[in-house]
Each structure stands twice: as structure tokens, then as C-alpha cells.
Amino acid sequence: MTIDTRAECGPSADSGSGVALGSAAIEFALPDELSATAPPEARGLTRDAVRLMVADGPALTHARFRELPSFLRPGDLVVVNNSAMITAAVDTEYGGEPAVLHFSTWLDDSGWVVEVRDPRGIPWGGSALKPGAYLPLPDGHVAVLRAPWLSGAGRLWIADVIVRASIGGAPKGIAADVRRLLTRHGRPITYSYVAERWSASYYRTVFGIEPGSAEMASAGRPFTESLVTELVAGGVGFAPITLHTGVSSPETGEPPSPERFAVPEMTARLVNATHAAGGRVVAVGTTVTRALETAAGADGLVRPMAGWTELVLSADRPARVVDGLITGWHAPGASHLHLLESVVGAEVVGETYRVALESGYLWHEFGDAALLFRN
């Protein structure tokens, strides 16, 4: 690929001697200095001033996110996730040790999928989790561990959240109002690369109107109201899906967990009409890609659908609907990398990640972005 520098690039960073990208398996070492440890606003930038790498055909272009209109055409459709993040992390303790409980998603039987996490933002390394064990929560609530949620993914458990009066006596079957608990006492989920606690406002996107995600659908974060207005004025359409994200999968090799989603009828119509008219469907993030591809039939048409998606996209299950996607930069070993391959292929993903490492792009939810087109 050739490189076209359309906008000023940030300082280059030493990508380190451990970088080794391969098309069969995307493996690389991420230097600590390439983790965005704070929102761009804290670095003196506006949201839409983060860097944007565009891969379209044989060329890679360096730009700023606010230049997005120059890479889209009238008649293209941008599909966004309108799920909003809830404050899903609550302090607790387990086995006499401090811990944080991450609420991932709610279940139909009033239980919640949760993850016990070390307060330092790293995987839990304390006492082994056991069914029936409980974790104290604010306002007299407790989370009672029921059982691991998915086979082979032991870090996620099903928990029942009840009032403390139910412990020590016969269970009264009184389920707590978890959403109210999280509103009063929760904070955004953070990982070890974000040392400072930022308010929930930093984790909101302009599209988030349906609370329910454990973590921000971060690909939409660089959008501003003025940028959306400029795109619409230029003939680019917008349509929403809803996918409530669970906790992310920062642990290497874990597949994506089932997630709640909905593709509205109007969005399905707009996607199909865009393709019929020769336009491109651009997904904002892996969440949108997963939702649209779940609702797509083998004929490439999208149908309205809602429920749980367990779809795992990869080079073995290529995308049928999405022509391009806007995405952040994902950690080594994340399943999201294989989803990117399903849209643009392993070669493009490998090359963009190699260049991003060499050019000092910033990773994670507060970092830079990429716009990748399928060719």
C-alpha cells in the first residue's frame, strides 16, 4: 500500500522490536505509550480532532476525524449504535479483598451477567469464585453468584442481586433494582491503561439514547453534532441499530459474548435501498457490524430483527452487508480483529495495524480511529 498524508500526523512512536503482524493471525505487541490514557479533550483536542487512518483500495491516508466528509459520498449510509452506556462498575469485596463488580448484561430471569475484577483494572486474581458466594454492594444490596455464564469463559458469572435481608435466612426472592443501584453508585468501567476516573459524560456519544451498554460503543465517540450535520448536508444518510455491549474481551483469545440487539425495520429498508442505489453501507463500530450481519440473510438483504446475537464474524464468515466500517484500534488478541478481517480482509487489517503502530496512533476508547473500506 502507498501512503497519502492528507493531514498533519501526530508524532511517530517507536513501535518496539516485538511487533510481528501476520495475515493468518493478527499478533502484535502494543507499546504502553500508544494506549490513550485519557480523553482527547484532556489532551487539548476536540472529540473530532483525533487522528483517522483511511484504507480505501491500495492507498492509506492519514487524516483527522473531522475530515470524514471528504471520504464519504452522497448516497452512502452511515449506521450507528444508539445504545448508551450505563455506569456499570461498582466497588465491592470478595474473600476479604477489595474488588470491583462489572455488570455486563441483564438476563430474562432477572439475573445479571457480571465480572469480578481487580480494582487496578486487571483480571481478578484473588480467591476462586464459587456458586453461592456473595459480594456486598451499596445500600444493603448483595450480588449472589449463581454459576458461570458460558462454558469456557469462566470470568463471566450469572448473579442475582438482592437485598441484604435475604442473606442468612430463607431467600425472599426479592430482586434488587439494579439499574437504580448503578445510577446511584456505579461508575464507568475502566481498565488498567486508564488510571484516572473520568465522569460518565466522557463516555457518551452523540448517538446514545437507549441506556443498556456496559461499555461505550466507542467508534461513535469522535462524532460531534456539527460533523453529523455536515455529513447530512452533503447527502450522507444515517440510520440506527441498537446493540447493548457487554463487557469487552480484553483477554486474548476470548470469543465475543452474546449481546442484545435490534435492527429496526426502517434501518433494514435504508440499508437495502442504499445498496440497490449503488451506495455504500458504513458501520460505525464492530457493534453495528455485528448487528447488521446478524440480521442479514444469505442473499445480502437485511431484515428487521431483535433478540440476542451470538454471531462470530471472521474471515471464515465474511460480512455480507457492511461495505466499510469506522473503528477504533483494538488490543492484541481481541476478537474484534477477526471481525475487521471479515469486512476488509486480513491483508488490509494487517497493513493498517502495522502502519498505525509505526505512525503512533493511539489505542482504546479514547484513542484514534480508522475508516476501512472493502474492495
b/e map of 115-124 (b: 16 or more CB within 10 Å)?
bbbeeebeeb
Average pLDDT over residues 322-342: 92
Mean pLDDT of 205-219: 97
Q: How far apart are CA 232 and CA 236, in angstroms?
A: 5
Structural contact between residues 88 and 46, judged by C-beta atoms closer than 8 angstroms? no
Q: For cell 474488588, name the residue.
A: 99
Per-residue confidence at 261, pLDDT binned at 50, 70, 90?
A: very high
As a whole number of angstroms, the distance between CA 35 and CA 23 comes to 23
Q: How far apart, in Å, are the Cα atoms of 101 and each of 114, 121, 143, 189, 259?
A: 7, 11, 9, 9, 19
d(CA 290, CA 172): 39
d(CA 319, CA 293): 6
- Grid cell in block for residue 231: 455529513
Give yes or no for a contact between 161 and 176, defined as CB atoms under 8 angstroms apart: yes
Which tens digit of pLDDT belongs to each residue from 293-330?
Answer: 999 999 999 999 999 999 999 888 899 999 999 999 99
Q: Which pLDDT does position 314 carry in this prediction? A: 87
Q: How many CA atoms lie within 13 A of 31 on its CB side?
A: 19
Of 148, 182, 186, 141, the closest CA to residue 162 belongs to 141
Strand-pairing partners, residue 83, are 210
pLDDT of residue 252: 62
pLDDT of residue 46: 96
Mean pLDDT, rounded, of the chain? 89
- Whether pLDDT at 8 is above 60: no
**What pLDDT sits at residue 236?**
98
pLDDT of res. 10: 38
Termini Cα distance of the chain = 13
- Measured over the CA atoms of residue 233, residue 222, residue 329 and residue 251, the dihedral's sign is negative
Convert the pLDDT of each residue in 71-120 to its tens digit. 999 999 999 999 999 999 999 999 999 999 999 999 999 899 999 999 99
Task: List, for residues 181-192, the tens digit of each pLDDT value.
Answer: 999 999 999 999
Distance CA(358)–CA(352), nearest Å, equals: 10
- For residue 2, pLDDT beyond 50: no
The predicted structure's pLDDT at residue 71: 98
3-class DSSP assignment, residue 282: strand
Instruction: With H, G, I as helix, E, B as strand and everything else as coil, classify residue 33.
Output: helix
Q: What is the DSSP letter of 179?
A: H
285 Rama class: left (phi>0) / alpha (psi -120 to 50) / beta? left
287 closest CA partner among 365, 231, 197: 365
Q: Which three cell numbers stand for residue 255?
A: 470469543
pLDDT-based confidence at 213, cuts 50/70/90? very high
